[in-house]
Structure 1
């Protein structure tokens, strides 16, 4: 009898310990489900715009907390990660870059094949409009590449903390051109001017609000390499960044306990912002099915297969350990906002090498956006199908390079 009671107490203790360990994950999943349900129910009451805005305030506070922590976390993680790498660090960087490129290409090719085969846009046969004119010219592939290069090398590292370079066009009303000229294509008028829609649009490079994450990563990656080469003479500076990283991670732990509340209101607010959820779901059914199917195949088949092939370990153990990060990314729609959670899950739950995590994850959150690649690939195909146009292989390649 005493043995039975001891076994029973031991079993209850294990359940309580498991519940305590996964309490944050359970509350996060619950908040996602409740956010969807209450968002749909509240939408039937037709709340005013002011009410919807107030509902979104707690979620906005969560996003602000993550963005507040992003700069010190990215800089400290990158410097400590690079500075602690051994001579194989260059090999690790090349392997990570190759993986990011290959994963993005696989995701893009996968969803293009799905979109073309499923004919996602045929459900809404929009009237073809070959003479449609957009509001302004759009940057071409060369512009996108040049902007990327400018952001990689920011002219002011302090400015990169809150602004990034962007190509923009301004309508020059004082110099209208013949409107009989083509309006669909943008024709180069000079090195910095475009003729489009009956006007000349001067092209300029200016700054927009938003952290230049890739520029900051590049600067502090080089900073970490130099610190690594200094050896013992740079130990004081390395200790500073190690302490900064620990402080930031502890602050992230505090924010994580607010995470379920913030995600609940973010999801509820996003559902309420859609004027007619049922009509939107019906009109975009195939678009959503194609995108979600592509994401599911990539996340549940492609990536686990790559992981198992390279490590011979169970990939779904990693997925379960990353669940908090996945749900945070789902709620915030931002890999940068989910980065603090991702680092915490990898280092504390999965017990991965901290040096590798701090080097690979900040870079991956910036350049390895497979989900964004899937959406950017399926959207133009959908629009082309809705307008009853066929995209050639060259058009699909140009679209991906331009995005």
Structure 2
């Protein structure tokens, strides 16, 4: 009877159920269903893209194939602005000025260090793989961009301090250029010669793009001011904290259509390339150099930095950020992956939301490891194609300029290409061969975006490691203040 009672006891049966293979499979599917569906969407997207490409689809057909993906991106972008504003205000308001300063400094040092390190890696890979040693067929019709290095940094400084916070939600400062041609006649010995003179004028204009850097600055100041006022701003802070949770909830619901949207984006990207084989055979060594650099930086260098500074298992950490990386791969945008990065940092890795909700938007604005590696590799590749002697001085100039320019990439279409033109011009390298890069931009843009996401999330982990003690001390001080207040108002 005693044995029968033990067998019938539900408390004895429960562990066996939880330990069964079926229970583990169900738990895995429940927990990672969205991840599995997203991977399936990518596979289906590639299959549909390669299949449709053989039918030579029209532009209208490509538009409708990509429509679900376009709508998916529009849904995400719709919520990015309120997410950044609410999360930065609520996050900085939860810290004291000393902690805010330390979080900013640690995050910025990480960004500068990784941007510089990835340029060194790209230079080393260039001399190992040597892309561009053979002449390739070039389309000479590329348009030369008129842009100066100083202007891109001046625009960055202007955008850090916006003159209108409301306007910063949809426009940012950008130097604009206008060129005019005039004929100047001069007398020669035998006849009058007419010289054609091109005048370039520049003016401060605006571009239709969210000024994320300016919003972060403004929201940080507001959050710090709210923190200083303490009790007077309690309702204000509760509003932004609740608004952040509301936006995150909406975005989590949106992500259930991610498999369809991501599949659509992949399909239209592949279907729109007319000659994949020819493109990669012509630019093969350059694609190999960038791809190897991306993989090396993402799976060797950044994990080594994370382990050295935090003693976390970097590869276990990488497994927790697969979803934001997949979204970045499909959308070629780190901004649309901000909600998933926050989810991965806070829920899966236990990073304090006060750190992650400042560091992630901050990194998205300034940190671009993948883009820095691509720009450095491309500059050296084009120098080889152009017959320019790649001396140590040229290499140093390209590396330093790229490391700094990666923090000021303009928010315009093909922004990495625009930055590349500036660097080539600064190094006196012809830009004619740059047209070749557009043939593989669709692929390289996709593989470098997840690298940026890995760097952003690792930055949050490193910053939290160095600021954890300050946050704990702040929480303890606040707890003591609350206990003292409760003691003072309690009846004798």
TM score, norm. by length of structure 2: 0.73
Residue in 1 that maps onto 2:44? 34
Moved more, 17-26 or 134-143: 134-143
Deviations 1:118-174 (A, max 9, x none): 2212244458x9xx897455322211110111111112111111112222221213x
Q: Tell me the residue number matched to 1:393.
A: 395
Q: Is the Cα–Cα contact under 8 Å of residues 177 and 199 in structure 1 kept in the other structure?
A: no
Distance 1:68 1:176 in 2: 49
* Partner of residue 114, structure 1: 125
State how far apart, in whole Å, the 2-side matches of 1:133 and 1:278 are: 23
Q: Residues 121 and 286 of structure 1 are in contact (CA less than 8 Å); yes or no, is this contact kept in structure 2?
A: yes
Contact 2:62 2:272 in 1 (8 A): yes
Structure-2 change in CA distance of 1:263 and 1:310 (3 Å) = same
Tell me, what secondary structure is at the counterpart of 1:56? helix
Deviations 1:199-258 (A, max 9, x none): 111112211111111111111111111111111111111111001101000011011101
Whether the aligned pair in 2 keeps the contact of 1:72 and 1:248 (CA below 8 Å) is: yes
Q: Which residue of 2 aligns with 1:164?
A: 172
* Paired residue secondary structure (2:165): coil
Q: Closer, same or farther in 2 for the Cα pair 1:105/1:154, shift >3 Å?
A: same
Match in the other structure for 2:443: none
Q: Secondary structure at the match of 1:155?
A: coil
Distance change in 2, residues 1:79/1:176 (3 Å): farther
Aligned-pair CA distance for 1:348: 2.3
State the match for 2:379 in structure 1.
Answer: 380
Equivalent residue of 1:81, what SS? helix
Verify the 8 A CA contact 1:137 1:169 in the aligned structure 2. Answer: no
Query: 1:328 — aligned with what?
Result: 327
Q: Shift of residue 93 of structure 1? A: 1.5
Instruction: Return the match for 2:154 from 141, 146, 160.
Output: 146
- Following superposition, the deviation at residue 14 of structure 1 comes to 2.1
- 1:347 alignment partner in structure 2: 346
- Give distance in 2, aligned partners of 1:101 and 1:330: 24
**1:315 matched residue in structure 2:** 314
- What residue is the counterpart of 2:93 in the other structure? 83
Change in Cα spacing, 1:111 to 1:240, as seen in structure 2 (3 Å) is: same
Helix, strand or coil for the counterpart of 2:133?
helix
How do 1:217-296 and structure 2 match up within 5 A? 217-296=216-295
Q: 1:232 to 1:252 in 2, by over 3 A?
A: same
Regions of 4+ moved over 6 Å: 2-6
Change (3 A) 1:177 1:148: farther
1:23 and 2:36 correspond: no
The answer (yes or no) to whether the contact 1:176–1:198 under 8 Å persists in 2 is yes
- Indicate the SS of the match to 1:171: strand
Normalised by the length of structure 1, the TM-score is 0.89
The Cα offsets for residues 57-100 of structure 1, whole Å up to 9 and x where unpaired, read as: 11111111111111000011111111111443321221111011
Report the equivalent of 2:304.
305
Instruction: Quickly say closer, same or farther: Cα 1:116–1:126, change in 2 above 3 A.
Output: farther
Structure of greater Rg: 2
Tell whether the 8 Å contact from 1:125 to 1:387 is kept in structure 2 after alignment.
Answer: no
Paired with 2:184 and 2:247, the residues of 1 have a C-alpha distance of: 55
For 2:127 and 2:162, the matched residues in 1 are separated by 39
Unpaired stretches in structure 2, ≥5 consecutive residues: 1-6, 186-195, 406-418, 420-492
In structure 2, distance between residues paired with 1:216 and 1:5: 52
Deviates more, 1:343-352 or 1:92-101: 343-352
2:66 to 31, 56, 67: 56
Match of 1:7 among 3, 6, 16: 16
Secondary structure of 2:351's counterpart equals coil
Report the CA distance shift for 1:124/1:23 in structure 2 as closer, same or farther (over 3 A): farther
Q: Distance in 1 between matches of 2:132 and 2:31?
A: 45
Residues matched between the structures, number: 382
